[in-house]
């Protein structure tokens, strides 16, 4: 019997999605002579039964491309799908998962491979609980998925942020300014921490370590006393002041991730400018961190994850997620992978290394 597998990409895009798709398709053809179908625009395509057959011809030349040839969406949860509004204007939702399952069955799909982050993998696990054979592939630039040492897209993102710091360093020094760079990461500080260290930041603010603005002010004044009238500050979008809360930019009610963080960089910059007398500027990198070609590390990691996902799809067991552990690609239960957010350890080695070289983490001077 010919194996028939489907794949979709859900949630925010990340460099390396196409490389995973390529790894799945090539393994299917070379190792199993299997058929692979790609559902368009994430779970929305699964609900609406929009798909294409994937093969060597339409997955050739995509290894280096950012984004996803299948399209993606973070607003279309089949278990909570928007269904209009009531008389008061409140958004209504319905469970259309059975429709999605019927589409899989009519196409003869035996296993569904879901490439996504926390939200998409939660949905994948819900499908598994309804009897669908599912394999997850961990994708998020935030690196906040439990069970894998690193998610793909993270390495590319921190290289993008590092390059921004390299460029901002010269203009900050020339104009004697405080340069605040706000980066993504949601409720985890991995991007800010790694890119801040790599980019030579003087202050790094992450959600796991609530900051005291007075400590940052002292750090900047110390640099001025040393003749350094500029500072570089990496701020994770989820960073918050002690006794404060995260800064929320918007709330998207029909999204799988409804809370949109953003704006903390402006808050920090305004307070520092007023306290130090130095001019402050804010750079919000936003979706620049999601775009562009994946790094060599991410291209290799995604290829390996795609290969493992296809092998697992054929050979089982299912309801599993591919993961990087040490130097090996393994699988772990999806339930374990989505059990909690993977956060930075405030007392971990990398934070201690940052402190050892004089970086201010916002909580002490």
Burial class (CB in 10 A: 0-12, 13-18, 19+), 139: buried
Q: Tell me the pLDDT tens digit for each residue of 45-70.
A: 999 999 999 999 999 999 999 999 99
Which pLDDT score is estimated for 248?
86
Look at residue 252 and tell me whether its pLDDT is greater than 90: no
DSSP string, 85-151: E-TT--EEEE--HHHHHHHHHHHT--EEEEEE-HHHHHHHHHHHHTT--EEEEEB-TT--BTTSS--
Which pLDDT score is estimated for 239?
96
Look at residue 254 and tell me whether its pLDDT is greater than 70: no
3-state secondary structure of 204: strand
Task: List residues with catalytic annotation.
Answer: 142
Question: What stretch of H or E contains 44?
Answer: helix 43-48
Q: In what order do the strands lie in the sheet with 177-183?
A: 203-205, 231-236, 177-183, 279-284
Q: How do strand 279-284 and strand 259-261 relate by DSSP bridges?
A: unpaired
Contact call for residues 181 and 214 (beta carbons, < 8 A) = no
E-strand stretches of the chain? 4-9, 35-39, 51-54, 81-85, 91-94, 111-116, 134-138, 177-183, 203-205, 231-236, 248-251, 259-261, 279-284, 320-325, 328-333
Q: Tell me the pLDDT tens digit for each residue of 258-298.
A: 788 889 999 999 999 999 999 999 999 999 999 999 999 99
- For the chain, the C-alpha Rg in angstroms (whole number) is 22
CA distances from 158 to 3, 59, 151 (A): 38, 27, 12
238 CB-side CA count, 13 A: 20
Look at residue 255 and tell me whether its pLDDT is greater than 90: no
**Domains of the chain and CATH, by start:** 4-152+292-337 (3.40.50.450), 154-291+345-356 (3.40.50.460)
Sorted by sequence, the CB contacts under 8 Å of residue 194 that are 6+ apart come out as 154, 158, 350
282 CB-side CA count, 13 A: 19
Look at residue 16 and tell me whether its pLDDT is greater than 80: yes
Look at residue 115 and tell me whether its pLDDT is greater than 90: yes
Sorted by sequence, the CB contacts under 8 Å of residue 22 that are 6+ apart come out as 59, 62, 63, 303, 306
Which pLDDT score is estimated for 256?
62
In this prediction the pTM is 0.93
Q: What's phi and psi for 259, nearest 5 deg?
A: -90, 125
Contact call for residues 13 and 74 (beta carbons, < 8 A) = no
Burial class (CB in 10 A: 0-12, 13-18, 19+), 293: middle
Structure tokens at 226: 């040393």
Alpha-helix runs per DSSP H in 199-278 = 213-225, 264-276
3-state secondary structure of 202: coil
CA 70/CA 43 separation, integer angstroms: 11
What is the number of residues in the chain? Answer: 365
45 CB-side CA count, 13 A: 21
Q: What is the DSSP letter of 31?
A: I
């Amino acid at each position: 019997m010919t194996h028939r597998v489907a794949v979709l990409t859900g949630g925010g895009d990340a460099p390396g999605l196409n490389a995973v798709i390529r790894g799945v398709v090539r393994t299917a053809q070379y190792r199993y002579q299997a058929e692979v179908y790609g559902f368009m625009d994430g779970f929305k395509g699964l609900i609406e039964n929009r798909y294409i057959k994937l093969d060597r011809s339409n997955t050739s030349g995509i290894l280096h491309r950012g984004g996803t040839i299948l399209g993606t969406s973070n607003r279309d949860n089949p278990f909570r799908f928007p269904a209009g509004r009531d008389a008061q204007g409140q958004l209504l939702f319905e469970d259309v998962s059975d429709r999605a399952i019927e589409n899989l069955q009519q196409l003869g799909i035996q296993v569904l491979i879901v490439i996504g982050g926390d939200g998409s993998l939660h949905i994948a696990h819900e499908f598994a609980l309804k009897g669908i054979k599912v394999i997850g592939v961990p994708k998020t630039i935030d690196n906040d998925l439990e069970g894998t040492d690193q998610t793909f897209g993270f390495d590319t993102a921190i290289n993008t942020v590092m390059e921004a710091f390299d460029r901002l360093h010269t203009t900050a020094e020339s104009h004697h300014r405080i340069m605040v760079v706000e980066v993504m990461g949601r409720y985890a500080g991995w991007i800010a921490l790694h890119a801040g260290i790599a980019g030579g930041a003087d202050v790094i603010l992450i959600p796991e370590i609530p900051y005291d603005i007075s400590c940052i002010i002292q750090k900047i004044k110390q640099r001025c006393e040393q003749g350094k009238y500029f500072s570089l500050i990496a701020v994770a979008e989820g960073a918050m002041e002690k006794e404060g809360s995260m800064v929320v930019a918007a709330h998207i009610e029909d999204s799988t991730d409804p809370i949109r963080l953003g704006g903390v960089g402006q808050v920090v910059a305004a307070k520092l400018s007023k306290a130090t007398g130095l001019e402050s500027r804010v750079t919000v990198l936003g979706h620049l961190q999601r775009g562009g070609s994946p790094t060599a590390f991410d291209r290799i990691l995604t290829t390996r994850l795609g290969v493992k996902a296809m092998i697992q799809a054929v050979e089982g067991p299912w309801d599993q997620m591919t993961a990087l552990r040490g130097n090996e690609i393994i699988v772990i239960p999806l339930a374990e992978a989505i059990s909690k957010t993977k956060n930075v350890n405030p007392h971990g080695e990398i934070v201690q290394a940052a402190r050892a070289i004089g970086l201010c983490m916002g909580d002490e001077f």
